[in-house]
A and B are shown apart, each in its own frame.
Chain A
Amino acid sequence: MTKNVARTTGSMQIKRGLAEMLKGGVIMDVVNSEQAKIAEDAGAVAVMALERVPADIRRDGGVARMSDPEMIIAIQASVTIPVMAKARIGHFVEAQILQSLGVDFIDESEVLTPADETHHIDKLAFDTPFVCGATNLGEALRRISEGAALIRSKGEAGTGNVVEAVRHLRNIFGDIRKITQADSAELFDWAKKLGAPLPLVQEIAETGLLQVPLFCAGGIATPADAALAMQLGAQSVFVGSGIFKSDDPSPRAKAIVEATTHYLDADILAKVSRNLGAPMTGIGMDQINERYAERGW
Protein backbone atom coordinates (compact mmCIF):
# COMPACT_ATOMS: atom_id res chain seq x y z
CA MET A 1 0.00 0.00 0.00
CA THR A 2 1.22 3.49 -0.80
CA LYS A 3 1.12 6.19 1.81
CA ASN A 4 -1.80 8.61 1.62
CA VAL A 5 -0.87 12.15 2.54
CA ALA A 6 -3.12 14.82 0.97
CA ARG A 7 -5.72 16.40 3.25
CA THR A 8 -8.51 18.84 2.51
CA THR A 9 -10.06 20.63 5.49
CA GLY A 10 -13.07 22.95 5.81
CA SER A 11 -14.96 21.66 2.75
CA MET A 12 -18.75 21.84 2.68
CA GLN A 13 -18.91 18.02 2.83
CA ILE A 14 -16.79 17.95 5.98
CA LYS A 15 -18.95 20.66 7.56
CA ARG A 16 -22.21 18.89 6.70
CA GLY A 17 -20.61 15.63 7.85
CA LEU A 18 -20.40 16.88 11.44
CA ALA A 19 -24.06 17.95 11.27
CA GLU A 20 -24.86 14.40 10.13
CA MET A 21 -23.05 13.00 13.21
CA LEU A 22 -25.20 15.14 15.53
CA LYS A 23 -28.47 13.68 14.22
CA GLY A 24 -30.86 12.05 16.67
CA GLY A 25 -29.21 13.93 19.50
CA VAL A 26 -29.71 16.76 21.96
CA ILE A 27 -27.53 19.90 22.01
CA MET A 28 -27.74 21.63 25.38
CA ASP A 29 -27.09 25.27 26.35
CA VAL A 30 -24.59 25.50 29.22
CA VAL A 31 -23.09 28.51 31.00
CA ASN A 32 -20.18 26.84 32.86
CA SER A 33 -18.08 23.65 33.11
CA GLU A 34 -20.33 22.11 35.78
CA GLN A 35 -23.37 22.36 33.54
CA ALA A 36 -21.33 21.10 30.56
CA LYS A 37 -20.41 17.98 32.54
CA ILE A 38 -24.03 17.41 33.59
CA ALA A 39 -25.01 17.70 29.93
CA GLU A 40 -22.33 15.23 28.78
CA ASP A 41 -23.26 12.80 31.58
CA ALA A 42 -26.87 12.96 30.47
CA GLY A 43 -25.91 11.95 26.90
CA ALA A 44 -25.84 15.31 25.09
CA VAL A 45 -24.23 15.11 21.61
CA ALA A 46 -22.84 18.64 21.97
CA VAL A 47 -23.04 21.66 24.21
CA MET A 48 -23.64 25.31 23.33
CA ALA A 49 -21.39 27.48 25.48
CA LEU A 50 -22.93 30.85 26.35
CA GLU A 51 -22.83 33.35 29.19
CA ARG A 52 -26.56 33.55 29.82
CA VAL A 53 -29.29 31.17 28.70
CA PRO A 54 -31.94 32.86 26.52
CA ALA A 55 -34.45 33.11 29.41
CA ASP A 56 -31.94 35.27 31.31
CA ILE A 57 -31.06 37.36 28.24
CA ARG A 58 -34.77 38.03 27.87
CA ARG A 59 -35.08 38.98 31.56
CA ASP A 60 -31.94 41.16 31.73
CA GLY A 61 -32.30 42.99 28.42
CA GLY A 62 -29.35 45.02 27.11
CA VAL A 63 -26.99 43.99 24.32
CA ALA A 64 -26.21 40.26 24.21
CA ARG A 65 -22.80 39.47 22.68
CA MET A 66 -20.40 36.56 22.06
CA SER A 67 -19.30 34.90 25.33
CA ASP A 68 -15.95 35.52 27.03
CA PRO A 69 -13.36 33.24 25.33
CA GLU A 70 -12.08 32.25 28.78
CA MET A 71 -15.43 30.70 29.60
CA ILE A 72 -15.60 28.89 26.23
CA ILE A 73 -12.07 27.49 26.74
CA ALA A 74 -13.01 26.24 30.22
CA ILE A 75 -16.03 24.41 28.80
CA GLN A 76 -13.94 22.94 25.95
CA ALA A 77 -11.51 21.59 28.55
CA SER A 78 -14.27 20.01 30.64
CA VAL A 79 -15.98 17.80 28.01
CA THR A 80 -15.03 15.53 25.07
CA ILE A 81 -18.17 16.17 23.00
CA PRO A 82 -18.32 19.00 20.41
CA VAL A 83 -18.60 22.55 21.77
CA MET A 84 -20.62 25.17 19.91
CA ALA A 85 -20.77 28.91 20.59
CA LYS A 86 -22.83 31.85 19.37
CA ALA A 87 -21.82 34.88 17.30
CA ARG A 88 -24.11 37.85 16.65
CA ILE A 89 -25.87 37.96 13.26
CA GLY A 90 -23.45 39.64 10.83
CA HIS A 91 -20.61 39.86 13.38
CA PHE A 92 -17.93 38.08 11.35
CA VAL A 93 -15.16 39.12 13.76
CA GLU A 94 -16.84 37.30 16.65
CA ALA A 95 -17.00 34.31 14.27
CA GLN A 96 -13.27 34.67 13.47
CA ILE A 97 -12.53 34.61 17.21
CA LEU A 98 -14.71 31.53 17.75
CA GLN A 99 -12.95 29.75 14.86
CA SER A 100 -9.58 30.66 16.38
CA LEU A 101 -10.72 29.09 19.68
CA GLY A 102 -11.44 25.84 17.82
CA VAL A 103 -15.18 25.90 18.48
CA ASP A 104 -16.70 22.92 16.58
CA PHE A 105 -19.82 24.75 15.31
CA ILE A 106 -20.64 28.48 15.25
CA ASP A 107 -24.27 29.48 15.79
CA GLU A 108 -25.01 32.78 14.02
CA SER A 109 -27.80 33.44 16.46
CA GLU A 110 -30.81 35.72 16.73
CA VAL A 111 -30.68 35.18 20.51
CA LEU A 112 -27.76 37.63 20.58
CA THR A 113 -28.32 41.24 19.54
CA PRO A 114 -27.73 41.55 15.75
CA ALA A 115 -24.59 43.41 14.66
CA ASP A 116 -25.73 43.98 11.05
CA GLU A 117 -29.31 44.63 9.98
CA THR A 118 -28.71 43.78 6.31
CA HIS A 119 -25.98 41.17 6.01
CA HIS A 120 -25.45 37.79 7.54
CA ILE A 121 -21.90 36.41 7.90
CA ASP A 122 -20.28 35.07 4.70
CA LYS A 123 -20.02 31.57 6.12
CA LEU A 124 -18.23 30.19 3.06
CA ALA A 125 -15.16 32.17 4.19
CA PHE A 126 -14.74 29.95 7.27
CA ASP A 127 -13.44 26.40 7.87
CA THR A 128 -15.66 26.02 10.95
CA PRO A 129 -19.22 24.95 10.15
CA PHE A 130 -22.14 27.29 10.93
CA VAL A 131 -25.67 26.65 12.13
CA CYS A 132 -28.30 29.34 11.48
CA GLY A 133 -31.91 29.78 12.54
CA ALA A 134 -34.85 30.00 10.13
CA THR A 135 -38.57 30.62 10.45
CA ASN A 136 -39.43 29.57 6.89
CA LEU A 137 -37.95 27.87 3.83
CA GLY A 138 -36.80 31.10 2.14
CA GLU A 139 -34.76 32.07 5.17
CA ALA A 140 -33.31 28.55 5.40
CA LEU A 141 -32.24 28.60 1.73
CA ARG A 142 -30.67 32.06 2.03
CA ARG A 143 -28.59 30.83 4.97
CA ILE A 144 -27.61 27.67 3.04
CA SER A 145 -26.53 29.80 0.06
CA GLU A 146 -24.32 31.81 2.46
CA GLY A 147 -22.68 28.56 3.57
CA ALA A 148 -24.63 27.30 6.60
CA ALA A 149 -24.02 23.56 7.14
CA LEU A 150 -27.01 23.13 9.45
CA ILE A 151 -30.37 24.87 9.86
CA ARG A 152 -32.44 25.02 13.03
CA SER A 153 -35.90 26.40 13.58
CA LYS A 154 -35.68 29.68 15.47
CA GLY A 155 -38.68 29.01 17.64
CA GLU A 156 -38.87 31.63 20.37
CA ALA A 157 -35.84 31.13 22.60
CA GLY A 158 -36.11 31.53 26.36
CA THR A 159 -39.89 31.08 26.52
CA GLY A 160 -40.20 27.35 27.28
CA ASN A 161 -43.06 27.50 24.77
CA VAL A 162 -42.79 25.21 21.77
CA VAL A 163 -45.51 26.88 19.68
CA GLU A 164 -43.18 28.99 17.51
CA ALA A 165 -40.76 26.11 16.81
CA VAL A 166 -43.73 24.03 15.66
CA ARG A 167 -44.87 26.88 13.41
CA HIS A 168 -41.40 27.18 11.85
CA LEU A 169 -40.97 23.43 11.29
CA ARG A 170 -44.44 23.21 9.71
CA ASN A 171 -43.64 26.25 7.50
CA ILE A 172 -40.41 24.70 6.25
CA PHE A 173 -41.58 21.11 5.75
CA GLY A 174 -44.96 22.26 4.38
CA ASP A 175 -43.31 24.35 1.66
CA ILE A 176 -40.88 21.53 0.82
CA ARG A 177 -43.85 19.20 0.33
CA LYS A 178 -45.60 21.76 -1.90
CA ILE A 179 -42.47 22.37 -3.99
CA THR A 180 -42.13 18.65 -4.76
CA GLN A 181 -45.61 18.91 -6.37
CA ALA A 182 -44.85 22.07 -8.40
CA ASP A 183 -44.14 21.95 -12.14
CA SER A 184 -40.93 23.42 -13.58
CA ALA A 185 -42.53 26.80 -14.48
CA GLU A 186 -43.92 27.19 -10.94
CA LEU A 187 -40.45 26.77 -9.44
CA PHE A 188 -39.45 30.23 -10.77
CA ASP A 189 -42.34 31.76 -8.83
CA TRP A 190 -41.42 29.73 -5.73
CA ALA A 191 -37.85 31.08 -5.90
CA LYS A 192 -39.21 34.63 -6.21
CA LYS A 193 -41.72 34.21 -3.38
CA LEU A 194 -39.14 32.63 -1.07
CA GLY A 195 -36.39 35.09 -1.99
CA ALA A 196 -34.16 32.07 -2.47
CA PRO A 197 -31.74 30.98 -5.23
CA LEU A 198 -33.53 29.10 -8.02
CA PRO A 199 -31.03 26.20 -8.22
CA LEU A 200 -31.63 25.39 -4.53
CA VAL A 201 -35.42 25.43 -5.08
CA GLN A 202 -35.02 23.15 -8.12
CA GLU A 203 -32.88 20.78 -6.08
CA ILE A 204 -35.58 20.54 -3.41
CA ALA A 205 -38.21 19.84 -6.08
CA GLU A 206 -36.08 16.93 -7.23
CA THR A 207 -35.01 15.42 -3.88
CA GLY A 208 -37.81 16.51 -1.53
CA LEU A 209 -35.12 17.32 1.03
CA LEU A 210 -33.41 20.39 2.43
CA GLN A 211 -29.71 20.46 1.37
CA VAL A 212 -28.48 20.30 5.00
CA PRO A 213 -29.86 18.71 8.19
CA LEU A 214 -32.71 20.57 9.93
CA PHE A 215 -32.81 20.61 13.73
CA CYS A 216 -35.35 22.13 16.10
CA ALA A 217 -34.61 24.96 18.54
CA GLY A 218 -36.51 27.52 20.57
CA GLY A 219 -38.89 26.61 23.37
CA ILE A 220 -38.34 22.89 24.03
CA ALA A 221 -38.93 22.18 27.74
CA THR A 222 -40.13 18.56 28.04
CA PRO A 223 -39.37 15.09 26.58
CA ALA A 224 -42.73 15.29 24.79
CA ASP A 225 -41.72 18.62 23.18
CA ALA A 226 -38.53 16.97 21.85
CA ALA A 227 -40.46 13.99 20.46
CA LEU A 228 -43.01 16.36 18.88
CA ALA A 229 -40.23 18.21 17.04
CA MET A 230 -38.74 14.88 15.88
CA GLN A 231 -42.11 13.53 14.68
CA LEU A 232 -42.66 16.77 12.74
CA GLY A 233 -39.41 16.01 10.89
CA ALA A 234 -36.61 17.69 12.87
CA GLN A 235 -33.48 15.53 13.01
CA SER A 236 -32.16 16.67 16.42
CA VAL A 237 -33.09 19.18 19.08
CA PHE A 238 -31.40 22.13 20.73
CA VAL A 239 -32.53 22.71 24.32
CA GLY A 240 -31.64 26.10 25.72
CA SER A 241 -33.23 27.35 28.90
CA GLY A 242 -35.44 24.25 29.15
CA ILE A 243 -32.92 22.13 31.07
CA PHE A 244 -31.02 24.41 33.43
CA LYS A 245 -34.08 26.60 34.17
CA SER A 246 -36.04 23.55 35.33
CA ASP A 247 -36.22 22.32 38.96
CA ASP A 248 -33.97 19.30 38.49
CA PRO A 249 -31.77 19.59 35.36
CA SER A 250 -29.98 16.21 35.27
CA PRO A 251 -33.00 13.84 35.13
CA ARG A 252 -34.77 16.18 32.70
CA ALA A 253 -31.70 16.26 30.43
CA LYS A 254 -31.50 12.44 30.43
CA ALA A 255 -35.21 12.13 29.73
CA ILE A 256 -35.02 14.53 26.78
CA VAL A 257 -32.07 12.53 25.36
CA GLU A 258 -34.06 9.28 25.57
CA ALA A 259 -37.18 10.91 24.14
CA THR A 260 -35.21 12.19 21.14
CA THR A 261 -33.97 8.67 20.34
CA HIS A 262 -37.26 6.86 21.01
CA TYR A 263 -39.47 9.64 19.65
CA LEU A 264 -41.87 7.23 17.95
CA ASP A 265 -42.37 4.97 20.98
CA ALA A 266 -45.15 6.38 23.21
CA ASP A 267 -44.54 3.72 25.89
CA ILE A 268 -40.94 4.85 26.34
CA LEU A 269 -42.01 8.52 26.19
CA ALA A 270 -44.55 7.84 28.97
CA LYS A 271 -41.85 6.14 31.05
CA VAL A 272 -39.19 8.85 30.72
CA SER A 273 -41.67 11.71 31.27
CA ARG A 274 -42.48 10.63 34.84
CA ASN A 275 -41.31 12.43 38.00
CA LEU A 276 -39.11 15.05 36.40
CA GLY A 277 -40.09 17.87 38.76
CA ALA A 278 -41.33 21.21 37.46
CA PRO A 279 -40.28 22.28 33.95
CA MET A 280 -39.31 25.92 33.41
CA THR A 281 -42.37 28.10 33.94
CA GLY A 282 -42.49 29.41 30.40
CA ILE A 283 -44.24 32.42 28.92
CA GLY A 284 -47.01 32.96 26.39
CA MET A 285 -46.25 34.73 23.10
CA ASP A 286 -48.56 37.63 24.06
CA GLN A 287 -46.46 38.28 27.18
CA ILE A 288 -43.12 38.91 25.47
CA ASN A 289 -41.88 42.33 24.40
CA GLU A 290 -39.46 41.24 21.73
CA ARG A 291 -39.59 38.34 19.32
CA TYR A 292 -36.05 37.09 18.66
CA ALA A 293 -37.32 35.12 15.65
CA GLU A 294 -37.90 38.42 13.83
CA ARG A 295 -34.16 39.13 13.91
CA GLY A 296 -32.38 38.00 10.73
CA TRP A 297 -33.23 38.71 7.10
Chain B
Amino acid sequence: MKVGILALQGAFSVHEEMLQSLGADTVQVRTTQDLNSVDALVMPGGESTTMSHLLNTSELFDPIAERINNAMPVFGTCAGMILLAKSIADGRPDQRFYGAIDIDVQRNAYGRQVESFETELNVEGLKSPFHAMFIRAPQVVRLGTDVEVLSRHEGKVVLARQGSVMVASFHPELTSDNRIHSLFLQEV
Protein backbone atom coordinates (compact mmCIF):
# COMPACT_ATOMS: atom_id res chain seq x y z
CA MET B 1 0.00 0.00 0.00
CA LYS B 2 1.61 3.25 -1.16
CA VAL B 3 0.35 6.78 -0.64
CA GLY B 4 1.34 9.35 -3.25
CA ILE B 5 1.73 13.06 -2.64
CA LEU B 6 1.28 15.27 -5.68
CA ALA B 7 4.67 17.01 -5.70
CA LEU B 8 4.36 19.50 -8.57
CA GLN B 9 4.35 22.50 -6.23
CA GLY B 10 3.39 23.47 -2.70
CA ALA B 11 3.48 21.95 0.77
CA PHE B 12 4.07 18.36 -0.31
CA SER B 13 7.06 17.60 1.92
CA VAL B 14 5.20 18.34 5.18
CA HIS B 15 2.33 16.07 4.04
CA GLU B 16 4.87 13.36 3.35
CA GLU B 17 6.42 13.68 6.83
CA MET B 18 2.98 13.47 8.43
CA LEU B 19 1.99 10.36 6.44
CA GLN B 20 5.32 8.74 7.30
CA SER B 21 4.71 9.50 11.00
CA LEU B 22 1.63 7.28 10.64
CA GLY B 23 3.70 4.48 9.13
CA ALA B 24 2.59 5.04 5.51
CA ASP B 25 4.86 4.17 2.59
CA THR B 26 5.00 7.38 0.51
CA VAL B 27 5.92 8.43 -3.04
CA GLN B 28 6.27 11.98 -4.42
CA VAL B 29 4.21 12.07 -7.62
CA ARG B 30 5.56 14.15 -10.53
CA THR B 31 5.08 11.78 -13.48
CA THR B 32 2.60 9.13 -14.68
CA GLN B 33 5.08 6.43 -13.65
CA ASP B 34 5.01 7.78 -10.09
CA LEU B 35 1.19 7.86 -10.22
CA ASN B 36 0.98 4.24 -11.39
CA SER B 37 2.89 3.12 -8.29
CA VAL B 38 0.46 4.58 -5.74
CA ASP B 39 -2.85 3.42 -4.23
CA ALA B 40 -4.00 6.79 -2.86
CA LEU B 41 -3.13 10.42 -3.49
CA VAL B 42 -2.79 13.57 -1.38
CA MET B 43 -3.10 16.91 -3.16
CA PRO B 44 -1.33 19.53 -1.07
CA GLY B 45 -1.77 23.23 -0.51
CA GLY B 46 0.04 25.65 -2.78
CA GLU B 47 -1.18 27.72 -5.70
CA SER B 48 -4.05 25.97 -7.52
CA THR B 49 -3.41 27.92 -10.76
CA THR B 50 0.23 26.77 -10.76
CA MET B 51 -0.72 23.16 -10.02
CA SER B 52 -3.41 23.16 -12.70
CA HIS B 53 -0.81 24.45 -15.20
CA LEU B 54 1.76 21.83 -14.16
CA LEU B 55 -0.81 18.99 -14.21
CA ASN B 56 -1.24 19.79 -17.91
CA THR B 57 2.41 20.22 -18.84
CA SER B 58 3.37 17.07 -16.87
CA GLU B 59 0.60 15.13 -18.65
CA LEU B 60 -0.80 14.09 -15.29
CA PHE B 61 -4.25 15.68 -15.41
CA ASP B 62 -6.13 12.96 -17.30
CA PRO B 63 -4.40 9.95 -15.70
CA ILE B 64 -5.30 11.32 -12.25
CA ALA B 65 -8.92 11.92 -13.36
CA GLU B 66 -9.12 8.31 -14.50
CA ARG B 67 -7.73 7.01 -11.19
CA ILE B 68 -10.22 9.16 -9.23
CA ASN B 69 -13.07 7.74 -11.38
CA ASN B 70 -11.83 4.29 -10.44
CA ALA B 71 -12.24 5.16 -6.74
CA MET B 72 -8.62 5.87 -5.80
CA PRO B 73 -8.82 7.52 -2.32
CA VAL B 74 -7.77 11.15 -2.57
CA PHE B 75 -7.33 13.90 0.02
CA GLY B 76 -7.05 17.56 -1.03
CA THR B 77 -6.06 20.39 1.30
CA CYS B 78 -6.59 24.05 0.37
CA ALA B 79 -5.39 24.22 -3.29
CA GLY B 80 -5.99 20.44 -3.39
CA MET B 81 -9.61 21.03 -2.35
CA ILE B 82 -9.99 23.59 -5.16
CA LEU B 83 -8.68 21.05 -7.70
CA LEU B 84 -11.16 18.40 -6.50
CA ALA B 85 -14.26 20.66 -6.46
CA LYS B 86 -17.13 20.63 -8.96
CA SER B 87 -16.80 24.31 -9.74
CA ILE B 88 -14.57 27.26 -8.83
CA ALA B 89 -16.40 30.54 -8.23
CA ASP B 90 -13.54 32.84 -9.23
CA GLY B 91 -11.06 30.56 -10.95
CA ARG B 92 -9.18 31.39 -14.10
CA PRO B 93 -11.13 30.45 -17.25
CA ASP B 94 -8.40 27.99 -18.29
CA GLN B 95 -8.03 26.46 -14.82
CA ARG B 96 -8.79 22.72 -14.86
CA PHE B 97 -10.23 20.79 -11.94
CA TYR B 98 -11.61 17.32 -11.25
CA GLY B 99 -15.23 17.69 -10.08
CA ALA B 100 -14.61 14.72 -7.78
CA ILE B 101 -16.65 16.03 -4.84
CA ASP B 102 -20.02 17.80 -5.11
CA ILE B 103 -19.01 21.20 -3.75
CA ASP B 104 -18.41 24.62 -5.29
CA VAL B 105 -15.55 26.65 -3.85
CA GLN B 106 -14.44 30.24 -3.87
CA ARG B 107 -10.69 30.86 -3.94
CA ASN B 108 -9.01 33.21 -1.41
CA ALA B 109 -12.45 33.66 0.18
CA TYR B 110 -11.08 34.88 3.52
CA GLY B 111 -8.98 37.59 1.86
CA ARG B 112 -5.27 38.22 1.54
CA GLN B 113 -2.47 36.87 3.74
CA VAL B 114 -3.07 39.39 6.57
CA GLU B 115 -6.50 37.73 7.01
CA SER B 116 -5.00 34.22 7.26
CA PHE B 117 -5.63 32.74 10.71
CA GLU B 118 -5.37 29.87 13.20
CA THR B 119 -8.33 28.50 15.13
CA GLU B 120 -9.64 25.44 16.98
CA LEU B 121 -12.05 23.16 15.12
CA ASN B 122 -14.39 20.49 16.37
CA VAL B 123 -14.09 17.56 14.00
CA GLU B 124 -16.54 14.64 13.67
CA GLY B 125 -14.86 11.53 15.09
CA LEU B 126 -12.10 13.39 17.00
CA LYS B 127 -12.40 13.56 20.79
CA SER B 128 -10.66 16.93 21.25
CA PRO B 129 -10.47 20.07 19.06
CA PHE B 130 -8.06 20.22 16.12
CA HIS B 131 -5.77 23.24 15.78
CA ALA B 132 -6.25 24.42 12.20
CA MET B 133 -4.40 26.91 10.00
CA PHE B 134 -6.24 28.74 7.22
CA ILE B 135 -3.88 30.38 4.72
CA ARG B 136 -5.45 32.45 1.91
CA ALA B 137 -8.04 29.70 2.24
CA PRO B 138 -10.90 28.77 -0.08
CA GLN B 139 -14.50 28.49 1.13
CA VAL B 140 -17.19 25.98 0.24
CA VAL B 141 -20.01 28.08 -1.26
CA ARG B 142 -22.30 25.19 -2.28
CA LEU B 143 -22.63 21.77 -0.71
CA GLY B 144 -24.12 18.75 -2.51
CA THR B 145 -26.59 16.57 -0.60
CA ASP B 146 -24.35 13.49 -0.72
CA VAL B 147 -21.40 15.23 0.90
CA GLU B 148 -20.68 14.35 4.52
CA VAL B 149 -19.64 17.36 6.63
CA LEU B 150 -16.87 16.60 9.13
CA SER B 151 -16.23 20.12 10.43
CA ARG B 152 -17.50 23.68 10.16
CA HIS B 153 -15.94 27.01 11.08
CA GLU B 154 -18.21 30.04 11.55
CA GLY B 155 -20.90 28.07 9.75
CA LYS B 156 -18.73 27.31 6.69
CA VAL B 157 -17.86 23.72 5.79
CA VAL B 158 -14.10 23.27 6.20
CA LEU B 159 -13.69 19.46 6.21
CA ALA B 160 -15.88 17.17 4.10
CA ARG B 161 -15.99 13.74 2.53
CA GLN B 162 -17.84 12.05 -0.32
CA GLY B 163 -17.04 8.42 -1.06
CA SER B 164 -13.27 8.09 -1.36
CA VAL B 165 -12.68 11.85 -1.67
CA MET B 166 -11.86 14.00 1.37
CA VAL B 167 -11.19 17.76 1.31
CA ALA B 168 -10.05 20.38 3.84
CA SER B 169 -9.93 24.14 3.32
CA PHE B 170 -7.25 24.37 6.05
CA HIS B 171 -3.79 22.82 6.49
CA PRO B 172 -3.64 19.79 8.81
CA GLU B 173 -0.09 19.17 7.49
CA LEU B 174 1.25 22.36 9.11
CA THR B 175 0.67 21.18 12.70
CA SER B 176 2.16 18.23 14.55
CA ASP B 177 -1.31 16.68 14.94
CA ASN B 178 -1.73 13.76 12.53
CA ARG B 179 -5.32 12.80 13.41
CA ILE B 180 -6.88 14.10 10.17
CA HIS B 181 -4.30 12.29 8.05
CA SER B 182 -5.14 9.24 10.12
CA LEU B 183 -8.84 9.65 9.21
CA PHE B 184 -7.82 9.67 5.54
CA LEU B 185 -5.58 6.62 5.88
CA GLN B 186 -8.49 4.69 7.43
CA GLU B 187 -10.18 5.05 4.02
CA VAL B 188 -7.15 3.74 2.16
CB-CB contacts below 8 Å: A181-208 with B: none
Q: Is B69 an interface residue (CB 8 A)?
A: no
Interface membership of B122, Cβ < 8 A: yes
Q: Do B46 and A18 have beta carbons less than 8 Å apart?
A: no
Q: A17-B135, A18-B136, A20-B11 are in contact. Are A261 and B117 (CB under 8 A)?
A: no
Q: Can you list, as one digit per residue, whether each of B111-147 has a CB less than 8 Å from chain A (1) or not (0)?
A: 1111111111110100001000101100000000000
Interface residue? A274 (CB, 8 A):
no
A6, B114: Cβ atoms closer than 8 Å: no
A17 touches B8 (CB 8 A): no
Stretch at the interface among A56-64, A97-105, A114-122, A280-288: A97-105
Q: Which residues of A contact B47 (CB under 8 A)?
A: 21-22, 25, 45-46, 81-82
Interface residues of B in 27-78 (CB under 8 A from A): 30-31, 45-47, 49-50, 53-54, 57-58, 78
A3 touches which of B129, B152, B174 (Cβ 8 Å): B152
Q: Is the interface of A mostly helix, strand, loop or mixed?
A: loop
Shortest distance between the CB of A6 and any CB in chain B (Å): 6
- Is the C-beta of B7 less than 8 angstroms from some C-beta in chain A? yes
Interface size on B, residues (CB 8 A): 49
How many Å lie between the Cα of A262 and that of B129 in the bound state? 38
Query: Which residues from chain A contact B54 at a C-beta distance below 8 Å?
Result: 43, 257-258, 261
| Chain A 1-23 per-residue mask, 1 if CB under 8 angstroms from chain B, else 0 | 11111111111011001101111
A18-B135, A80-B107 are known contacts. Are A7 and B50 too (CB-CB below 8 A)? no
**A110: Cβ under 8 A from any B Cβ:** no
Residue of B nearest to A127 (CB): B114
B55 to chain A, nearest CB (A): 10
Is chain B's binding surface mostly helix, strand, loop or mixed?
loop
Task: Check: B155 CB closer than 8 A to any chain A CB.
Answer: yes
A-B contact count (CB 8 A): 139
Measured in the bound complex, the distance between the Cα atoms of B114 and A24 in whole Å is 23
- Distance in angstroms from A285 CB to nearest chain B CB is 32
* B162 neighbours in A (Cβ, 8 Å): none
- Smallest distance from the beta carbon of A280 to chain B beta carbons, Å? 23
A23→B46 contact, CB < 8 A: yes
Q: Nearest residue in A to B121 (C-beta to C-beta)?
A: A4
CB neighbours (8 Å) of B155 from chain A are: 3
B108 contacts partner chain A, Cβ-Cβ < 8 Å: yes
Given the interface pairs A7-B119, A9-B116, the reply to whether A21 lies near B58 with Cβ below 8 Å is no
Contact A80 to B92, CB < 8 A, known contacts A128-B113, A262-B58: yes
Nearest to A255 among chain B residues (CB) is B57
Q: How far is the CA of A20 from the CA of B11 in the complex (A)?
A: 5
Q: Does B24 lie at the interface of the complex (its beta carbon under 8 Å from any beta carbon of A)? A: no
B120 touches A4 (CB 8 A): yes
Cβ-defined contact, B118 with A11, below 8 A: yes
Interface residues of A in 81-123 (CB under 8 A from B): 81-82, 99, 102-105
Chain A residue nearest to B11 (CB atoms) is A20
Q: Which residue of A lies closest to B54 (CB)?
A: A261
Contact status of A7 and B118, CB under 8 A, knowing A44-B50, A261-B9: yes
- Is A8 within 8 A of B114, CB to CB? no
Say if the beta carbon of B151 comes within 8 Å of chain A.
Answer: yes
Asked if B14 is at the interface (CB within 8 A of a chain A CB), the reply is: yes
B10 close to A (CB within 8 Å): yes
CB of A40 closer than 8 Å to a CB of B: yes
* Beyond A21-B46, A104-B112, A257-B53, 12 extra complex contacts between A and B, CB < 8 Å: A1-B124, A4-B121, A5-B119, A9-B114, A23-B10, A24-B46, A25-B9, A42-B53, A82-B112, A258-B58, A261-B7, A261-B30
A-B contact pairs, 30 of them (CB 8 A): A3-B152, A4-B129, A4-B154, A6-B119, A9-B116, A9-B117, A17-B171, A18-B113, A18-B135, A20-B10, A20-B14, A20-B45, A21-B47, A21-B78, A21-B136, A23-B10, A23-B11, A24-B10, A43-B50, A43-B54, A80-B49, A81-B49, A82-B112, A102-B112, A127-B114, A257-B50, A258-B57, A261-B8, A261-B9, A261-B54
